[in-house]
A and B are shown apart, each in its own frame.
Chain A
Amino acid sequence: MLDIVFSVIARDLKLAMRRQADIVSALFFFVIVVSLFPLGIGPEVDLLRQLAPGVLWVAALLATMLSLPRLFADDHRDGTLEQLALSPHPLGLVVTGKVIAHWLVSGLPLALIAPVLGIQFDLAGDALLVLTGAILLGTPALSGIGAIGAALTLGLRGGGVLLSLLVLPLYIPVLIFGAGAVDATVSGLGGEGHLSLLAAMTIAAIGFAPWASAAALKIALE
């Protein structure tokens, strides 16, 4: 049963590798948005250190959003999606594979580059570690919830803006606990509780969101 998940992941990764510019541009979007904040706010280190978790997380949400419309759109355009829906495998598992592949090319790079940006905001070592961990744990939930939005807005005009309207309110818990983990570490409270909740949200999102997206995809393909 898991074969279908792995083969979808392998396929989507191969497709993504053929178009690396997409991955790199989403990543640089993240870097640029984060770099804009010190320019807008000013270079005071204390202030920046305080803002860092929130800024990095908001930028991570936006960068994830940026790559969401393409999650199903390309497959929808060339008919692959219909073939996948017609296949004997449950569509939910196919979507699970696509969500994981999406995270590997969008969430994982963010987590890898976040510590470097954190240093620019003068975060200390343990805060950087928690920041990376939080982004690693939280971004799969973003991909999962985002998949629902991407499926609902598939093929609609103004899909990108609409997608952000639908998905951003649902991202709020991840934002709160993601940024909260780093805040708690900085203030000495320890971010384990936040990280556990992030992990719980990710597990719930990866478990349930693909099925909601599959239902939405079936409606879009009718």
Chain B
Amino acid sequence: MNDRFNLYRFASPATFYPLAGKMIPWFVAAGILFGLAGLYVGMLVAPTDFQQGEGYRIIFIHVPTSWMSMFIYLVMAFWAAIGLAFNTRLSGMMAQALAPTGALMAFLSLWTGALWGKPMWGTWWVWDARLTSELILLFLYIGYMALVAAIDDARRADKAGGILLLVGVVNIPIIYFSVKWWNTLHQGSSVNLTKSAMAEVMLWGMLLMALAFWMYSIAVALARVRTILLERERHTEWVRKELAGGEQ
């Protein structure tokens, strides 16, 4: 322990594995705390909306999941760029570990949106620009996971997935603006969510829930990356030691 603290040390699977293991409980705890606080503020403190009644409270799930679905894609693209530029093994695994969580967030965002839309707008689905681009984001996640799953060689899967992520991240703004323009050309926006008058308590509830989802995503991704690590590095000495130590 006399060498200087070096962050790059944790790019090595053997050192990252125990670190991730130590971090997971903290993120789980933070996620539970933020989640409880967010639910308390959202369900009990925040006032009933004068237009939407109690139904609006789905916003405390809906908005954080939408944010996370977009944010996770960016994080994956970041890891993909790092992995392709520096040829690090862990980066591709991080991207892969994040993908199911991102897809889940996109799905939850669409699902809660549908549940919210039915009582508020009277329809499960509208071809609104936001909904459509969220759907396309879900397609991008599914495409990435399908590609990675189809490649047997792990290193090739990482790199090919990385290229797909970078291509996707370049395309997301183009897709978003084309969908937006398409929507305004075809029909007047039937969705009108004016958020200007949102009470401060509601905003706090949303932020707390967003933090809770964020912590959850990190914890789950770390847990997943640990299993990916064990699977990929199963032929190495440290994994054998690790597994033997676990059985004692």
Contacts and interface: CB of A to CB of B under 8 A. Distances in A.
Interface in B189-227: none
Contact of B156 (A157, A158, A219): A219
Determine the interface band of chain A, counting residues with CB < 8 A from chain B. Answer: 20 to 34
Given A148-B167, A184-B185, A220-B156, A172 B178 contact: yes
A45 to B, nearest CB: 21
B139 interface: yes
Interface of A: 148, 152-153, 156-159, 162, 165-166, 168-170, 172-173, 176-177, 180, 183-184, 197, 201, 212, 215-216, 219-220, 222
19 contacts: A148-B164, A148-B167, A152-B160, A152-B164, A159-B150, A162-B146, A165-B143, A165-B146, A166-B143, A166-B146, A168-B139, A170-B175, A172-B178, A176-B182, A180-B185, A197-B178, A215-B163, A220-B156, A220-B160
Contacts of A215: 84, 163
Contacts of A201: 174
B151 interface: yes
Interface residues of B, number: 26
A209 to B, nearest CB: 8
Contacts of B84: 215
A183 B143 contact: no
Contacts of B185: 180, 183-184
B100 to A, nearest CB: 16
Interface string B128-148: 000000001001101100110
B147 A180 contact: no
A177 B174 CA distance: 11
Given A169-B143, A180-B185, A158 B163 contact: no
B102 interface: no
Can you list the 7 inter-chain pairs with the closest CB atoms, starting with the nearest? A173-B178, A169-B139, A176-B182, A219-B159, A166-B143, A176-B178, A165-B143
Contact of A173 (B150, B156, B168, B174): B174
Contacts of A216: 160, 163
B236 interface: no
Nearest to A168: B139
Contacts of B160: 152, 216, 219-220
B229 interface: no
A112 to B, nearest CB: 26
A156 B164 CA distance: 15
Contacts of A168: 139
A184 B185 CA distance: 9
B6 interface: no
Nearest to A173: B178
Contacts of B182: 176, 180
B147 A153 contact: yes
A165 B171 contact: no
B179 interface: yes
A200 to B, nearest CB: 10
B26 interface: no
A51 to B, nearest CB: 13
Given A152-B160, A165-B146, A212-B167, A172 B151 contact: no
